[in-house]
């Protein structure tokens, strides 16, 4: 894959315990596959500090960027004080690229929708306040999220990670300045609707992701997913779309750089 433009994994949980034993090897393996940068969305407050530390540590073959936020699955473990802590991080650290991973997951029955809406609304407000894009986790809640975004836009837009909504919802997100993230999900033949969207949505709105260690690709079920697998996601997307592999690699990279305001490094 060395003749391809460098790739960016827009969503990978490198800070999760699954990567504690061999994180530097995982990063090297990603680098060998041409991954130049990885965006790591924070999910709970106790991980924020080590995540930022990991991103600023000395030289690595892959640039690591942090987003900070409270994921809807973990809101029960948080107090409103954590929002103040989050504000402090954004006030004092210029390197945080986005607010995330935040959102609404109404497929999850164990956490009240009302509580989810509280944390989501508060963190959206934070994104507006600090002019940051957001990284969205959205399941069975797209219409409510879109309603909130229409009523009070987030000017910097963001990424809807692992997008699996309808075509209409996809275009509504694009209208709000969002990109749509596609990952291992599109490698499953049964994911017909999502594959059709990945094939036909405007290339200028797509970004690649692995969501590692989650979302293993088809054929790798039950195994830990890794950022090096991003090239397989790219190949799958290229099989589905009319453009060439190189065009898709370049466009998705450019889209990610733009939406997260990342430095362009060496590649044009
Ligand atoms: Zn995630």
Q: In 3-state terms, the chain is what percent helix, strand and coil (to 5)?
A: 45, 15, 40
Q: How far is CA 247 from CA 2, 127, 150, 171, 207, in A?
A: 15, 31, 32, 22, 13
CA of 244 to the centre of ligand 1 (A): 28
CA of 128 to the centre of ligand 1 (A): 21
Q: What is the pLDDT of residue 263?
A: 80
Compute the distance between CA of residue 235 and CA of residue 146 in angstroms, rounded to an integer.
Answer: 30
Compute the distance between CA of residue 263 and CA of residue 260 in angstroms, rounded to an integer.
Answer: 9
The pLDDT mean for the chain works out to 95
Q: What is the pLDDT of residue 47?
A: 95
CA of 68 to the centre of ligand 1 (A): 12
**Highest CATH level, class, for 7-259:** alpha beta
Residues of the chain with pLDDT under 50: 1, 268
CA of 9 to the centre of ligand 1 (A): 12
Compute the distance between CA of residue 161 and CA of residue 253 in angstroms, rounded to an integer.
Answer: 15
Q: What is the pLDDT of residue 268?
A: 46
Ranges assigned E (strand) in 89-172: 98-105, 134-139, 158-160
Q: What is the pLDDT of residue 148?
A: 96
Q: Which pLDDT tens digit goes with each residue over 229-265? A: 999 999 999 999 999 999 999 999 999 999 999 987 6
Which helix (H) or strand (E) segment is 129 a member of? helix 113-130
Owner of token pair 């989810």: 116
Residue 18's DSSP bridge partners are none
Edge-first strand listing for the sheet containing 158-160: 7-9, 35-41, 63-68, 98-105, 134-139, 158-160, 178-182, 206-208
Q: What is the pLDDT of residue 266?
A: 54
CA of 209 to the centre of ligand 1 (A): 10
Q: What is the pLDDT of residue 150?
A: 96
Neighbours of ion ligand 1 (CB under 5 A): 101
- Under a CB-based contact definition with an 8 Å cutoff, are residues 236 and 182 in contact? no
Compute the distance between CA of residue 213 and CA of residue 19 in angstroms, rounded to an integer.
Answer: 8
CA of 168 to the centre of ligand 1 (A): 23
Compute the distance between CA of residue 196 and CA of residue 176 in angstroms, rounded to an integer.
Answer: 22
Q: Which pLDDT tens digit goes with each residue over 22-40? A: 999 999 999 999 999 999 9
Q: What is the pLDDT of residue 265?
A: 65
- Under a CB-based contact definition with an 8 Å cutoff, are residues 177 and 202 in contact? no
Compute the distance between CA of residue 11 and CA of residue 67 in angstroms, rounded to an integer.
Answer: 10
């Amino acid at each position: 894959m060395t003749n391809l433009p460098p790739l960016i994994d827009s969503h990978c949980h490198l800070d999760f315990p699954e990567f504690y034993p061999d994180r530097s090897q995982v990063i090297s393996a990603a680098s060998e596959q041409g991954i130049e940068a990885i965006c790591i969305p924070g999910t709970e407050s106790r991980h924020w500090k080590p995540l930022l530390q990991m991103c600023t540590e000395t030289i690595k073959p892959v640039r690591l960027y942090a987003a900070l936020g409270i994921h809807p699955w973990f809101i029960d473990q948080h107090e409103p004080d954590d929002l103040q802590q989050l504000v402090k991080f954004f006030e004092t650290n210029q390197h945080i690229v986005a607010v995330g991973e935040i959102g609404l997951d109404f497929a999850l029955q164990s956490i009240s929708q009302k509580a989810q809406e509280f944390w989501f609304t508060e963190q959206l407000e934070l994104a507006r306040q600090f002019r940051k894009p957001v990284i969205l986790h959205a399941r069975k809640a797209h219409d409510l999220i879109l309603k909130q975004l229409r009523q009070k836009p987030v000017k910097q837009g963001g990424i809807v990670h692992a997008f699996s909504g309808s075509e209409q919802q996809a275009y509504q997100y694009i209208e709000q300045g969002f990109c749509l993230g596609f990952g291992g999900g599109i490698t499953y033949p049964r994911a017909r609707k999502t594959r059709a969207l990945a094939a036909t949505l405007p290339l200028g709105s797509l970004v690649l992701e692995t969501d590692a260690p989650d979302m293993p690709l088809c054929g790798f079920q039950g195994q830990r997913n890794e950022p090096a697998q991003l090239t397989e996601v790219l190949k799958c997307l290229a099989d589905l779309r009319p453009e060439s592999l190189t065009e898709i690699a370049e466009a998705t990279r450019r889209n990610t750089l733009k939406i997260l305001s990342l430095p362009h490094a060496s590649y044009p």
